[in-house]
Structure 1
């Protein structure tokens, strides 16, 4: 991404980012990611191609921004301050909230983008990376005989597996089941 999202964004920059975010999410509900062109994105956002390329390298870069923007809309608790026995549940709930708050859009997007396709591969990568960062920040490094990075990867992959099963593969689970499945899969290495 060509803009530093950690810096304070001007209103104009935020407005432009929001327009491209909206264009991408609207188009994804109507067609596959592979079929969306930069020209269509620009037309839907109401900006010229030059503006698109001032902000993004390509469509994939915009897609990565969309994941970041969506994640920014969730309640992301400081897991280090959460009781260790609840950390997995809090992290899982945060990610599940994100998916549930966008369930209608998610279903429309699924209708045009298979779970094995580029779009969801990108989403998986983003969620796994985010889950890994979250878990790495709260793991007590002296509790395991394993490297903290390996434990964080295990947690992240397990969270993604359960979220994928429930939200992308269409198996309806309530929160209690989400937690139970996750804890069963993590048995033996939980924080």
Structure 2
């Protein structure tokens, strides 16, 4: 993404980002990602192509921004303050909350985009990267003989697997079941 989202955004920048977010998500609820052009996005958002390219490298860059914006902030600092045995549940809950907040949109997108297609592949990448970052800050270095980064990757991949199963593959699970699945799959690491 060409804009730095870590600092304070101007109203104009936020308005532009919101317009492209709205355009992309509404189009994804109507058709497959592969059928959406930059021209169509710009028309729907009400901005010229030059503005689009001032903010995004390409359509896929906008998709990653959409996933990040829809997920909202999940604080690694907050997670680090949670008791160590509850961190996996806290991270899983934060990510599940984000997915549940957009259930209708995800269902509409699934009608036109298969879970194994490029749209949801990008969602997997965003969630896995977020989970990896969260878990990297929370893995206790001295708990096992494995490198912390490797353990963080294992946790992130497991959380993504459970979230995919529940929210993209259509298996309705309670939070308790989500936690049980994650802990069972992480049995050798925890």
TM-score bracket for the superposition, by shorter chain length: over 0.9
1:45-66 residue CA offsets vs partner (Å, 9 max, x unmatched): 0101110011111000111111
Matched positions, count: 190
RMSD across aligned C-alpha pairs, in angstroms?
Answer: 1.3
Question: Counterpart of 1:47 in 2: which secondary structure?
Answer: coil
Contact 1:77 1:90 in 2 (8 A): no
Q: TM-score, normalised by structure 1?
A: 0.96
**1:96 Cα deviation from its structure 2 partner:** 0.5
1:140-178 residue CA offsets vs partner (Å, 9 max, x unmatched): 112110000100000000000101111111111111110
- For residues 68 and 123 of structure 1, the distance between their equivalents in structure 2, rounded to whole angstroms, comes to 9
Aligned to 2:25: 25
Aligned to 1:150: 150
Aligned to 1:161: 161
Q: TM-score, normalised by structure 2?
A: 0.97
Question: Counterpart of 2:170 in 1: which secondary structure?
Answer: coil
Question: Counterpart of 1:14 in 2: which secondary structure?
Answer: helix
Unaligned 5+ runs, structure 1: none
**1:70 Cα deviation from its structure 2 partner:** 1.5
**Does residue 129 in structure 1 map to residue 137 in structure 2?**
no
**Does residue 112 in structure 1 map to residue 112 in structure 2?**
yes
Aligned to 1:2: 2
Call closer, same or farther: CA 1:122–1:50 in 2, change over 3 Å.
same
**1:71 Cα deviation from its structure 2 partner:** 2.2
Unaligned 5+ runs, structure 2: none
- For residues 141 and 70 of structure 2, the distance between their equivalents in structure 1, rounded to whole angstroms, comes to 30
